[in-house]
Structure 1
């Protein structure tokens, strides 16, 4: 299959991935708001534990970025939803992310590209940052301690990490220790009384993302 042109309206789309079709969804800013020259690609949590592009944290993160003027692209990793292939422990998922970002850059040349990810999606986007060189990176509950973060190269771009202090899936202290080990650490937002899936804290997450990331928004 050949890739479609970038849609002018919000809706589902199918992209050509390394293993076959990749199910994706493009969202433009709501309520007729003008879109900035910025596309944010958002990665979902672990597929083997039910993670998809429709995860509520992924959806809220994308919404937050659209409220800053970004166009967002969510997609399902291989073997998830209608995306072809099977789970590949982060290796093939990085290839999927590369394919999506290449399509975005071909279709929206000259515009900024941000990467965002929640949990496993944060790990995959971090793994690919050195190659893909985004203009900014958002990592929500990056799963330090669950995956090999020693192989990751910190991004040479603005970087925000949001971590719940009562995360029951990702050890918050492992995240803080990992950040403390970095020569160029990210901006860190620690959200008190917040678990992994941000139950009852999604609006707080929305505000935190918007407040921190607005400084990196490109001019119209």
Structure 2
């Protein structure tokens, strides 16, 4: 298949991935909101545990970035939703992200590339960051302790990590211990009384992302 041109309005699209079609959705800032030279790709949590691009944390993260002026792209990893292929334990999913990034960079040259991910999506975007060299990275509940973070090269770009203090899936201390090993640690926001899926804390998540990332928005 041939990839589409970047749409001028919000809506679903289908991209050509390394293992077949990838289901995706592009969203522009709301009418009247300023559009900045940023394209932000947001990666979803573990597909084998129900994670999709429609996950509420992913949707809120994308909304937060749009309110800063970014155009956002969410997509389903292989084997999720209408995306072809089978779950590949992070390897193939990293290739899926590379394919989406390549399309974005071809279609929107001259804009900054921001990557964001929640849980498994944070792992995938972190794995790919050394190769893809994003202009900014947002990692929400990165699953240190559940996936192999030893080989991850921390990004040199502005990098935000948000971790719930009462995360029942990702052990918060494992995240903090991993960050303590890094020579260039991220900005870390610990959210008290917050579970993995940010129940009743989604608006706090929105505010945390906007407050932390607003200084990196290009003029």
Structure 1 ranges of 4+ moved more than 3 A: none
Alignment of 1:4-23 (within 5 A): 4-23=4-23
Alignment of 1:79-98 (within 5 A): 79-98=79-98
Q: Give 2:216's aligned residue.
A: 216
The alignment partner of 2:150 has SS state of helix
The alignment partner of 1:88 has SS state of coil
Gaps of 5+ in 1: none
Q: Give 2:191's aligned residue.
A: 191
Q: Give 2:175's aligned residue.
A: 175
Give the Å deviation of 1:89: 0.4
Whole-angstrom distance in 2 between the partners of 1:132 and 1:118: 18
Whole-angstrom distance in 1 between the partners of 2:94 and 2:59: 20
TM-score by length of 1: 0.99
RMSD: 0.5
Give the Å deviation of 1:110: 1.1
Range moving further from structure 2, 27-36 or 50-59: 27-36
Whole-angstrom distance in 2 between the partners of 1:95 and 1:111: 22
Cα deviations across residues 163-198 of structure 1 (Å, max 9, x unaligned)?
000000000000000001100000000000000000
Q: Give 1:38's aligned residue.
A: 38
The alignment partner of 2:81 has SS state of coil
Give the Å deviation of 1:31: 2.7
Alignment of 1:116-135 (within 5 A): 116-135=116-135
The alignment partner of 2:98 has SS state of helix
Cα deviations across residues 66-123 of structure 1 (Å, max 9, x unaligned)?
0000000000000000000000000000000000000000000011000000000000
Whole-angstrom distance in 2 between the partners of 1:189 and 1:122: 15
Gaps of 5+ in 2: none
Give the Å deviation of 1:61: 0.1
Alignment of 1:36-115 (within 5 A): 36-115=36-115
Aligned residues: 219
TM-score by length of 2: 0.99
Q: Give 2:137's aligned residue.
A: 137
The alignment partner of 1:160 has SS state of strand
Give the Å deviation of 1:32: 2.8
